[in-house]
Every structure is written in C-alpha cells, then in structure tokens.
C-alpha cells in the first residue's frame, strides 16, 4: 500500500508464533527501504538478539528470518511518519479492528506493543505499566515494552534489553 510516496511495510507474520512485536507505525527510513526497524538509530534488532530472542543480530533487510525464531512483526498504523507523535487518535481507532483481526488470524501466544502510546490509544487505558498486562487481544497475552527507536533516549540499550528479557523468559519458561 502506498501512502504519500512511501510504502507501508509488509507484515512479517505466520500462524502460531510465540510473539508478534507490534510497532506504532513505520518510520520514514523503514518505509523508504521496505524493512522494519531500518533507521540508523533504531535498536530493535540489537535488543532482540541481546535479550535472547535470536541467536545473532538480524539486519533489517533480513527481517523475514525472524519467523525462524517464532517471532513476527506488524505495526498498529500503516502510515509512515518521521515521529510516532504524528499518528493521530483517529488513526489508532481506525486500526484497532484490523490489528485485532491480524492477531486472531495468526494466533500468536503473545503480542508485544513497542511503546505505551499505541496500546493506550487502542485500549482507552491510561497509566499503563510496562511488562505483561492483565488483558489479551484475540487470545494473545499483551505485553508493553519500551520503544527501541533511537529517538527514545529515556532507555539505554542495556535498559531495553532488561525490559525485553522477561518476555523472552515467559516464552521459554525460564
């Protein structure tokens, strides 16, 4: 799907995955290259590796290989933007049913939202905490993890890894 000259990213999904990581929306670099988390400062692939989800750091252009590790990728909103705060409340509302249908169709065990913004907009909840939530979407347990964007300087790389590791442990009964 094309939007404002930039292409929405294709989902990287399969049925019965352990977890689907759900970004807010594609960044401009990701949309321009056609690869999830391709921005120079984005730490997603490094964090995934260091938290134990993948045996090596995946390059954005090899993103499809994440399926080998029972992980998938999608975004809540398809429209690429320079910053997540450019996504409007109505775009989140418009995306809610589509996202839930993806989760129902692909039946992952867990869905991990990368940042509180999207889940708050979808759920209508305020004051969301990090980690596993007491709710589910389409039968998948919901997790809220910090956004790995290079623009999110509230978290160091080590702090991001520490935030993602409990999900990995939950997946593997550690």
Known active-site residue 35: no
- The whole domain housing 145 covers 2-171
Q: How many domains does the chain have?
A: 1
Active-site residue identified among 35, 36, 106, 110: 36
pLDDT tens digits, 62-77: 999 999 999 999 999 9
- 151, pLDDT greater than 90: no
Give alpha helix (H) positions in 60-135.
89-106, 116-123
* Residue 49: per-residue pLDDT: 98
Could you tell me if 3 and 27 are in contact, meaning their C-beta atoms sit under 8 angstroms apart?
Answer: no
Q: What angle do CA 8, 113, 131 make, to 5 degrees?
A: 165
Known active-site residue 36: yes
- 166, pLDDT greater than 60: yes
pLDDT tens digits, 40-56: 889 999 999 999 999 99
What's 150's domain CATH number? Answer: 3.40.470.10
* Distance of alpha carbon 131 from alpha carbon 169, whole angstroms: 12
* Residue 5: per-residue pLDDT: 60
* Distance of alpha carbon 171 from alpha carbon 28, whole angstroms: 31
Own/partner long-range contacts of 124-132 (Cβ < 8 Å, ≥24 apart)? 130/163, 131/163, 131/166, 132/166, 132/167, 132/170
Could you tell me if 43 and 148 are in contact, meaning their C-beta atoms sit under 8 angstroms apart?
Answer: yes
- 115, pLDDT greater than 60: yes
pLDDT tens digits, 118-128: 898 888 888 89
């Amino acid at each position: 799907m094309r939007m404002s000259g930039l292409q929405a990213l294709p989902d990287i999904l399969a049925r019965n995955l352990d977890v689907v990581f759900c970004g807010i929306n594609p960044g401009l670099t990701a949309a321009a290259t056609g690869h999830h988390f391709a921005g120079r400062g984005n730490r997603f692939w490094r964090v995934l590796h260091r938290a134990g989800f993948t045996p090596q750091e995946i390059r954005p252009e090899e993103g499809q290989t994440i399926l080998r590790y029972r992980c998938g990728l999608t975004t809540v909103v398809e429209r690429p933007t320079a910053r997540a705060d450019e996504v409007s409340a109505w775009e989140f509302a418009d995306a809610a049913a589509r996202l839930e249908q993806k989760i129902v169709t692909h039946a992952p065990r867990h869905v991990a939202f990368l940042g509180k913004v999207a889940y708050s907009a979808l759920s209508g909840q305020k004051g969301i905490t990090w980690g596993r939530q007491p709710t589910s979407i389409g039968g998948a347990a919901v997790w809220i993890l910090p956004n790995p964007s290079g623009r999110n300087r509230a978290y160091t790389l080590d702090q991001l890894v520490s935030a993602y590791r409990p999900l990995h442990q939950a997946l593997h009964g550690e």
